Every structure is written in C-alpha cells, then in structure tokens.
Amino acid sequence: MKDLDLKILTLQDFSDLPLVKEDGKTFQENAIKKSREYQRVFGKIVLAEDSGLQVPAIGGRPGVYSARFAGKEQNDKRNIKKLLKLLKDIPQKKRKAVFRSVVAITLLDGKTEV
C-alpha cells in the first residue's frame, strides 16, 4: 500500500467531531449509518465498523449493545459481570460466544457497500 497515494486517518485524528448515534438494530445498520454520516462530514471515502459479542445461549445478546450492556458509561468490568450473571445457570458446554464485526465503506458518490 505504500505505493498508493493514500492518507489513512482515524476519528482520533480529529477533535470536536460529532459522534454518530448508534441506534441501529444490527451491526450492519450501525456500520452503514456511521460510514454514510462521516462521508457527508468529510466528503471523502469512509470506512466504518460496528462490532460486538453475541452469545447464543442468551439469545445473541449483548449484540449491538455490547459496549453499554450494563449501562451507558461503557464499563467493561460491569459488562462482564452482567454477562456472567446471565450465564450462571447455563452449562459450561453451552457457553459459547462469537465476536462479530461488520465494516461498511461509503464512496465519494455516496454508494455504500458492506
């Protein structure tokens, strides 16, 4: 990629950037929303991602709520504690989880692909 004329930036490279409200029901909805909204802000090609933990034994939760599963303050320790409490009666063999990540790209013409 060093031969390409690319400059890759992340949200951390900007100050006072409005946060996109992640109110989608799926990782895909949130990734698309973030990609489209930041593409409108910057007028550049934008990649955006949404991800989280899905535990089949508890209906796929926490899912899109992974970061704020135990409250809005996004506390990892509280999220883990809540998850383990929900799993306390689930046999060890059924305690499986998947980390899911969805990436969306919005191009200069506004077209979005996942």
Q: What is the pLDDT of residues 24-65, one digit of tens each?
A: 999 999 999 999 999 999 999 999 999 999 999 999 999 999
pTM exceeding the 0.85 threshold for the entire prediction = yes
Pick 1 or 15 by higher pLDDT: 15
Classify 77 as helix, strand or coil.
helix
Q: Does pLDDT of 2 surpass 80? A: no
Domains within the chain, CATH numbers bracketed: 19-113 (3.90.950.10)
Q: Which of 3, 13, 16, 50 is catalytic?
A: 50
In this predicted model, what pLDDT tens digit does every residue of 11-20 receive, in sequence order? 889 888 888 9
**63-107 pLDDT, tens digit each:** 999 999 998 887 899 999 999 999 999 999 999 999 999 999 999
Distance (Å, whole) CA 51 – CA 2 = 28
Kindly report the CA angle at 114 between 37 and 46, in degrees rounded to 5?
A: 40
Burial of 14 (0-12, 13-18, 19+ CB in 10 A): exposed
Which pair of structure tokens corresponds to residue 69? Answer: 């599963």
- Those residues whose C-beta lies under 8 Å from the C-beta of residue 101, and which sit 6 or more positions away, are 27, 49, 50, 51
> 50 catalytic, yes or no?
yes
